[in-house]
Amino acid sequence: MRASRVSATLGARVAIAEAGRFGGTCVNVGCIPKKLFAYAAHFRDDLKEAADFGWSVAEPAFDWTRLVANKDREIDRLNGVYERVLVNAGVSIFRGKAFVRGKNEVEINGKTVTAKHILVATGSWPQKPDIPGAELTITSNEAFYLEQLPQRVLVVGGGYIAVEFASIFNGLGVRTTLAYRGALLLRGFDAELGIRLGEEMGRKGVAVLLRKNPAKIEKGLKVTFEDGSTEQFDLVMFATGRKPNTAGLGLEAAGVKLAADGAVIVDRYSKSSAASIHAIGDVTNRLNLTPVATAEGLALSKTLFGGTPTPVDHDTVPTTVFANPNLATVGLSEEKARERFGKLDIYKTAFRSLKHTMGDSEEKIFMKLVVDAASQRVIGAHMLGPDAGELIQGIAIAVKLGATKAQFDATIGIHPTAAEEFVTMREKFIG
């Protein structure tokens, strides 16, 4: 989307081939509908907490069908907006799947189209493990279109998608189990975030089972785990990874080198081993986030048609996980920072929010700053708590600009907020 529109505004003659709906994974079966569902799931906590502030709230009732219908309406609206944006930019649209037939040729619906440059932005697709009964389960794709909510759900996985959907199902009143084969949720994040998120999700009612993995699934959704234990569910959802969408596209025949997982191997300018063929987004399996993909598209447009070769900066990219509670981070985890910098100063805090002091909620906000001891630059900032993604965006600017701990300390906090803790942490953690 971004590459097509910007390239067209820079004077290029652009066509886009799309077999499905515009907006890719994010708009249709990713970030947008997922966050809408996450909003819905948070209302249960909000309604409970309202009583702590004097509100009398009737027994709430939830209508899954209405949520799905309203979500579908919003996605339809966005699809239309994206198509109009392309058309208004002068982009030609081909409805159909494209196959690469040469370094400068693409086939769409039996018609050959030639182009000086070809961009592959086909994304990725959810994968299921190769175990008996896997065909009886769903992935995140199908979770957005369930006809009804199950009573008991098993979510398998320990990454973004797994913890987000476990939180969504739990928040909507489903008896939810999260099973992960590893010892720690959210591998690749700061380890302390994964530990604390598991604890908070457990307090909210999710049964978090670590070092637990399904071995087979039988009709009726009886799940046998690798340790021999069994349990019955009404729905099993696998969130165990995604694979780049390159199979059968003809890329290898055109001279494009692929990684073992099918990802297109590209240089820092998103160029593949075939000089005329480029790739961006999840299909390259670099940093699989929507804003990163759009940044890659913008950089490629500038490189090819703007006269400004622009590499993509994948350093200090902020990200958030819309679990309950939210989690957000920018920069290096403590573990990665120790590998790269050696000696660190660590600052962290955990506390109940002012909002929760009015009731019996034991949920705690957690914040952490990772500081390079030598330069005193803040090289990592991490948070677990409400609206963490909204808050970390501002912190990300400071981290990106190389702010020091002293500059954080010199910034006056906004009181009373959770955000002020990022500029009031003074005591180094010793552990």
The rounded distance, in Å, linking the Cα atoms of 365 and 382 is 11
Q: For residue range 137-190, what is the model confidence (pLDDT) as tens digits? A: 999 999 999 999 999 999 999 999 999 999 999 999 999 999 999 999 999 999
**pLDDT grade for 404, boundaries at 50, 70 and 90:** very high
The amino acid at 410: A
Whole-number Cα distances in Å, 323 to 32, 68, 197 = 14, 19, 8
The domain spans of the chain are 2-126+243-305, 134-240, 325-423
The rounded distance, in Å, linking the Cα atoms of 179 and 200 is 16
Parallel/antiparallel/unpaired status of strands 277-279 and 118-120: parallel
Mean pLDDT, to the nearest integer, of 19-35?
96
| CATH number at 2-126+243-305 | 3.50.50.60
Q: What is the pLDDT of residue 134?
A: 98
The rounded distance, in Å, linking the Cα atoms of 423 and 405 is 9
For the ranges 48-57, 198-207, 368-377, 385-394, which has the lowest average pLDDT? 48-57
The rounded distance, in Å, linking the Cα atoms of 331 and 210 is 26
**pLDDT grade for 220, boundaries at 50, 70 and 90:** very high
Superfamily (CATH) of domain 134-240: FAD/NAD(P)-binding domain (3.50.50.60)
The rounded distance, in Å, linking the Cα atoms of 378 and 398 is 8
C-beta separation of 403 from 370 below 8 A: no
C-beta separation of 212 from 191 below 8 A: no
- Which SS3 state, helix, strand or coil, does residue 380 take? strand
- Residue 199: alpha-carbon gap to chain centroid: 21
Query: Do the two domains 2-126+243-305 and 134-240 of this chain adopt the same fold?
Result: yes
Name the packing angle between helices 31-50 and 64-88 (round to 10°).
140
Catalytic annotation, pick one of 42, 278, 382, 415: 415
Reported CATH class of domain 325-423? alpha beta
C-beta separation of 178 from 201 below 8 A: yes
Does 415 qualify as catalytic in the annotation? yes
Name the packing angle between helices 2-9 and 64-88 (round to 10°).
20
Q: For residue range 312-367, what is the model confidence (pLDDT) as tens digits? A: 999 999 999 999 999 999 999 999 999 999 999 999 999 999 999 999 999 999 99
* Max Cα-Cα span within the chain: 68
Share of the chain above pLDDT 70, in %: 100
CA torsion 253-256-257-258 (nearest 10°) is -90
The rounded distance, in Å, linking the Cα atoms of 67 and 141 is 16
